Each structure stands twice: as C-alpha cells, then as structure tokens.
Structure 1
C-alpha cells in the first residue's frame, strides 16, 4: 500500500482485492508459475497482510473520532452508537489478530519455499 496516496482508502482496498482475485483466478485455472514467482507472490501477500494489520487500528480510531464528531451514529442514542462502534472495534481487533497469524504463516511459507527452491 502507498502510505501517502491520494486515493481514498476504500479504493486502495478494492485494488488490493482485485489483485488477489486475479491471482486466485490464475491459480484456479492452473496457470503455471515458477518457484521464484510463487516465492515473490507469497512475499507480496505477506506484505499485504502486514499492511492490513497496520491499517486496522487506524480505521478504529477514525470510526471513534467520527462518532465523537457526530458523523457516525446520528440516528442512534449515544449508548447505541457506542455499542455499535465497540462491536466494530472488536471485529477489527479480531481481524487484526487473524492478519498477524496469516502474515506469520506466510513468512514461514515463503522461507520454506525459498529453502526448497535453493536446494
């Protein structure tokens, strides 16, 4: 992800999703890839997972700031709005935990694949 991009965050996320779907289509269609390509692909997915893990806390912070500024939850009572923001925060924290695990497993996969291709 480009940290100083002028693109809105949702467009960057959509672009990343599009790239992953394209990769999935290629894999589903059994398009051959060299071990080096596989290693680079796993590395790129690992970086994407790392980026996602770093973005999620910022999304939660923006949501909380939006709530405090009255931009979120205007139709709810304050308690209901905070409960909803809390639910989203919990889900984002769970997603971050999953992302950390995914990134770690991708690092192991990349390292093992690198060892396999070098032997």
Structure 2
C-alpha cells in the first residue's frame, strides 16, 4: 500500500526547464532522496516519489524510463523493470513494494515538492 505525504511545507527543487521532459532527477530533501519527474502530456506536470526501489534495494527510480501503461503514468525501475505509478506510488507487479508519493507542483517556473 502506498503512503501519501500531506503537508504545507513546500521546498523548491529546481527550475522546471532543468528537468528534460519525460525524465526524472533525484533531489535530496531533508536527508531523503526523492525522484522528481517532469511529464509532458497536455502541458507540463510533475510527480515526486521515493527514489529507493524496494525490489532492488537501490536508490535508482529517478533514472528509470517514464511511460504509460493504460491510463497510468509510470516509471520503470532501471534494474528489474518493475513499474511504479507516479500518482499513487503503487508497484504494479508487486503492490507490497509500493513507494511513498509526495505532492509536487509547478509554480513560477519552479518545481516544488511538499514534505
């Protein structure tokens, strides 16, 4: 089961144009690695999930391939290729290995993540 983080504490990560569309970057926020993704589909959207892949036990999700499975926007882990839903954090192949999601938004041309 995924865990959503709800907060009013927003941190600026980078400018939106510093993330190539349909890729991710890793941000270290309060000693936590967070994978931040810039998705272009009907305008720019951003997503933030835990960077740690519980299947491979490595912090690599920000380097995964972004795509879609049906209506879901996902990232495929670069190691074992499991798919993580960027909105819910659910691991589609192994739901017990889902990851934390964080609120993310674009404001003033910058990417903001809520902690």
Q: Between the two structures, name the one with larger relative contact order (CA 8 Å, sep ≥ 6).
A: 1
| TM-score, length of structure 2 as denominator length | 0.23
Greater strand content: 2
Higher Cα radius of gyration: 1
| TM-score, length of structure 1 as denominator length | 0.23
Greater helix content: 1
